[in-house]
Structure 1
Amino acid sequence: MGNLTCPPPLRRQGAPVPFLPATRTAVAPLLLTLALALSGCTSADTADEPAASKPTPGKSTAGPVRQLPEQPFDYQLGGPYDPPEGVRTVVRDRTADPDPASGAYNICYVNAYQAQPDAIDWWEKKHPDLLLRSADGDLVIDEDWQEPLLDISTADRRERLAGIVGGWFDGCAKDGFAGIDADNLDSYLRSDGLLDRAQAAAFAKLLSARAHRAGLAIGQKNAAEMAKLRTELGFDFAIAEECARYQECGAYADAYDDKVLVIEYRRKDLTVACRDWGKRLMVVLRDRDLVPAGEPGHVNERC
């Protein structure tokens, strides 16, 4: 058994910056679980026992809840708060406290394709080869969020990463979430050509299988150009940021039979989203920093 040091909590504050169209023997796991519990960690915090956390595509220990409730929904990545009256679906960060919102269909945000800035030291110490690097050895960074990209370029690395990210999924399930918001599917577009869509798709398949094993539904996050691969990738719904602004809502609606959560950040885009898609898709207007209710700058409106 490896070192049980937990990585820092991974939290992504605020809304991801939009990108233009085109634009993861029966005794061994039991002993590991016991050791992690005694250490104060969970299997979601470590990947030092890959045999215990490695996903098994095609197998499911529980049936995920795939039918999203009808409108409205709320998007609370900047911090949890009591959902507005009538809200039936809530998206919160996996490290949020409290975790799920009482009485709602809860979706757990996980940064699945990139590393959080406050976790870089953990990745460098524990899994330096799983961070994407340029030819000169420098980390490839999403400059908008200062997040290093994870290296999904080979099957071995994808499986190892799916063990780590899948552990976080298990933590979401244990906390009571029903679904996963797997962010940064489109990170290959920011990889300086070192990653491609086929590799992102292969990793998505592993993550979907792992989510379903945990009894969780899983959503495609952005990357409208990959919506047509929905069945192949195993996604159950979609979360689309600014799809009205970039005229992408139709791609999601068609691929996901209207099971789409839309977040817009400009009032004029909310107007368009409500006019064109308000009767089919779930739409919310949020401030770009996703400020919790009661704090300055909080914006939260629906069709």
Structure 2
Amino acid sequence: MPATHALRRRRPWVAAALAAAALVAAGITGNTPSRASAAEPELPPPGAGFDYQIGGAYDPPAGTEVVSRDRTAEPAAGLYNICYVNAFQVQPGETGDWPADLLLRDENGDVVIDPDWDEALLDIGTAAKRERVAERVNKWTDGCADKGFDAVEPDNYDSYTRSQDLLTAADAKAFVTLLSAHAHSRGLAAAQKNTVELAGSRAETGLDFAVAEECAPWNECDEYAAAFDNHVVVVEYTDEGLRKACDGWGGELSIVRRDVAVSTPGSDGYVHRTC
């Protein structure tokens, strides 16, 4: 995997219980939306107070306007809520919950694993398989909508870069397009998670805003800001990254500094700082 993507993915301790789903064309379910699907989805405001809570929900610090939480959590009252889902890979220990043929396999028939997080990659290499994987992920999106979240954050968009060249950027874009279309049908905005090299495909994929981990150290914040009209939430994991992000984009992008474990208050190592 490219070094520039080493940390910028979901943390493995985020709970992600898998759900069953019904087959629908293009992987888009026909459930009745809990929101007005005809309306344009609301985007997170640029330059807002932001907190990244995918490791566990807690009372947002003062000044928080936007929060991202795991799909198993409840949204925070009165804030803009982003619902995190692990869309392109499988939680460790849960590969048995997926049909065997939807797990990406190498030429020897072995499941392809992301070595950093011990996660199996999902096989989105054909249209038929993309639709079947989207059935499941879209059910999670339905749950986010039913709970009252405002947006969905499908993680591991860049998993094709760890696929031993078995998947392509075109596969990833085709799959995330299914996810964003379904999110829109439920009145939710859809986030691009990292993967700056595909930010220019926003119109093609239907993605609405970006969740960018460590864009300041990698000099990528400008690219996200330009592609998504400053609708970018930034997560930095070092004091230097926060300083650089705030110096360059404070007041324009929504920026937070978290600990790598995205832990909760009271935990060893908990960090939450903003500009």
Scaled by the length of structure 2, the TM-score of the pair is 0.89
One-letter code of the match for 1:298?
Y
Q: In structure 1, the residue corresponding to 2:97 is in which secondary structure?
A: helix
Q: Deviations over 1:69-128 (max 9, x none)?
A: 3410100011010000110111000012xx1111111100000100111321211xxx11
Q: In structure 1, the residue corresponding to 2:24 is in which secondary structure?
A: helix
Q: For residue 128 of structure 2, what is the aligned residue in structure 1? A: 156
Q: Highest Rg: 1 or 2?
A: 1
Choose from 92, 105, 109 the match for 2:80. 105
Q: Deviations over 1:14-38 (max 9, x none)?
A: xxx9616xxxxxxxxxxxxxxxxxx
Q: Is the 8 A contact 1:238 1:261 kept in 2?
A: yes
Q: Deviations over 1:116-157 (max 9, x none)?
A: 11321211xxx1111100011111011111010000000000
Q: Deviations over 1:147-192 (max 9, x none)?
A: 1000000000001111110011001101111100110110000000
Choose from 171, 177, 194 the match for 1:205. 177
Superposed CA RMSD in Å reads: 2.1
**Is the counterpart of residue 45 in structure 1 residue 31 in structure 2?**
no
Q: Is the 8 A contact 1:79 1:92 kept in 2?
A: yes
Q: For residue 191 of structure 1, what is the aligned residue in structure 2? A: 163
One-letter code of the match for 2:39?
G
Q: Is the 8 A contact 1:173 1:215 kept in 2?
A: yes
Q: In structure 2, the residue corresponding to 1:230 is in which secondary structure?
A: helix
Q: Is the 8 A contact 2:90 2:120 kept in 1?
A: yes
The equivalences for 1:143-182 within 5 A come to 143-182=115-154
Partners of 1:269 and 1:114 in 2: CA distance: 27
As a proportion of its length, which structure holds more helix?
1
Q: For residue 226 of structure 1, what is the aligned residue in structure 2? A: 198
Q: Deviations over 1:207-230 (max 9, x none)?
A: 110111111101000000000111
One-letter code of the match for 1:74?
D
After TM superposition, what 4+ stretches of structure 1 lie above 2 angstroms from structure 2?
Answer: 51-54, 60-67
5+ residue gaps in structure 2?
Answer: 7-17, 31-35
Partners of 2:249 and 2:257 in 1: CA distance: 13
5+ residue gaps in structure 1?
Answer: 1-16, 21-43
1:52 shift after superposition: 8.5
Q: In structure 2, the residue corresponding to 1:219 is in which secondary structure?
A: strand
Q: Which segment drifts farther, 61-70 or 228-237?
A: 61-70
One-letter code of the match for 2:94?
A
Q: For residue 63 of structure 2, what is the aligned residue in structure 1? A: 86
The equivalences for 1:1-303 within 5 A come to 19=5, 45-47=19-21, 49-51=22-24, 54-55=27-28, 61-69=37-45, 70-96=47-73, 99-123=74-98, 127-303=99-275
1:53 shift after superposition: 9.0
Partners of 2:56 and 2:63 in 1: CA distance: 19
Partners of 1:269 and 1:286 in 2: CA distance: 11
One-letter code of the match for 1:54?
G
Identity across the alignment (%) = 50
Partners of 1:250 and 1:183 in 2: CA distance: 21
Q: In structure 2, the residue corresponding to 1:108 is in which secondary structure?
A: strand
One-letter code of the match for 2:58?
Y
One-letter code of the match for 1:121?
G
Q: Deviations over 1:213-261 (max 9, x none)?
A: 1111010000000001111110110000000011111110000000000
**How many pairs does the alignment contain?**
258
Q: For residue 24 of structure 1, what is the aligned residue in structure 2? A: none
